[in-house]
Amino acid sequence: MKKVKNLTKNKIIVIAGPTAVGKTALSINIAQKYDGEIINGDSQQVYREVHIGTAKATAGEQAAVSHHLIDVRDLSESFSAHDFVTQANVAIADISSRGKLPIIVGGTGLYLQSLIEGYHLGGSGHHEEMRALRQKLDLLTDDQLFAKVFDHQIEMPEMNRRRAIRALEIAKFGGELANQKSDYDFLIIGLNTERSVLYERINHRVDLMMTAGLLEEATMLYARFREAQVSRAIGYKEFFPYFEGQITLEAAVEAVKQNSRRYSKRQITWFKNRMGVDFQDILAPDFQDQVDQKIERFLDDKN
């Protein structure tokens, strides 16, 4: 087990990717190997009483490795990106203070991006201008975006969309953003695989969820928390028309699968285009070796 210590910045690993790709299993492997603790980065796993449809780590998995930001909200409560960033920072500080490695795991791109970039948390009075600039930059191709970086004579040792956009924001708004420079050093490990394989994994997981009691969770939400934030999540909302006699159970299950597949595409697009994530193919023969090598280099870099 590798200890994390004597670092100039807090090292944080982020495991990101679409639903059902295997983020939980990898995170537990990494946490056990590198003396880490896991911080949930999924918007639905914060809620108590719903475990199956939110795909939480099992009780055994949570016993094997300490988990944070799971079961921290009642079903009637809301949870936002700001709430996530605030609580994630508390968890990071706690984990790092004990010499352990924080590992953030999830598929909610907005949450992860907000934490990594600190984009919406600063004290700048130019939020609307910043948002407008981000929207314009998001529309550019990689070549156009990188050309703007060169035009501003910004030196970047490694170029990707996320870093290029952030550099251009700092170039425009100056010290207001520069002063928000993070004390964290993030390594993002993106997981993906061939679309047909991912879709098979999604469909299979929904079938396993049904066997484990997904319908019972959806029934409870429909009866008690029909208007709650979590009730609008994929995996629950599709059953409400079934409860109302509008569709069959088979149609509801197929809707869960179809919406989950569509969501996975949106997740991949977000991580790729907005965060510049380079994905690792989970089925590559050397997948685990590639991940381990990335982590070793990251942890050994004292800069």
Residue 91 lies in a domain: no
Does the annotation place 285 within a ligand binding site?
A: no
Q: Is 17 annotated as a binding residue?
A: yes
CB-CB contact of 226 with 75 (8 Å): no
Report how far residue 209's alpha carbon sits from residue 182's, in angstroms, rounded to the nearest whole number: 39
Listed in sequence order, the residues at least 6 apart from 80 whose beta carbon sits closer than 8 Å to its beta carbon are: none
Q: Which domain holds residue 136?
A: 125-181
Q: Residues 145-202: pLDDT tens digits? A: 888 887 776 655 556 787 788 778 767 765 554 445 467 899 999 999 999 999 999 9
Matching residue, tokens 């679409």: 18
Is residue 212 in some structural domain? yes
Confirm whether residue 19 is marked as ligand binding: yes
pLDDT at 58 over 90: yes
CA separation for the pair 131, 169 (Å, rounded)? 10
**Res. 274: pLDDT tops 50:** yes
Domain CATH number, residue 233: 1.10.287.890
Average pLDDT over residues 285-295: 96
216 in a domain, yes or no? yes
The pLDDT mean for the chain works out to 88
- Binding residue per annotation — 235? no
Summarised one tens digit per residue, pLDDT across range 234-273 is: 999 999 999 999 999 999 999 999 999 999 999 999 999 9
Domain membership flag for residue 113: no
Does pTM top 0.85 for this prediction? no
Is 219 in the same domain as 247? yes
Residue 204 located in a structural domain = yes
Please tell me the total count of domains within the chain.
2
User: Is 178 labelled a binding residue?
Assistant: no
| Per-residue pLDDT tens digits for 110-153 | 899 989 987 544 444 555 676 678 778 888 888 888 888 877 76
85 lies in a domain? no
Instruction: Determine whether the annotation assigns residue 22 to a binding site.
Output: yes
CA distances from 113 to 31, 121, 163, 202, 274 (A): 22, 12, 12, 24, 8
User: Is 137 contained in some domain?
Assistant: yes
Residue-level pLDDT at 138: 82
The CA distance from 264 to 258, in Å, is 10
Degrees to nearest 5, angle at CA 240 with 238 and 244: 135
**Does some domain include residue 29?**
no
Which residue pairs, CB below 8 angstroms and at least 24 apart, start in 60-65?
61/24, 61/28, 64/28, 64/32, 65/27, 65/28, 65/31, 65/32, 65/36, 65/37, 65/38
Residue 192 tokens, joined: 């993906």
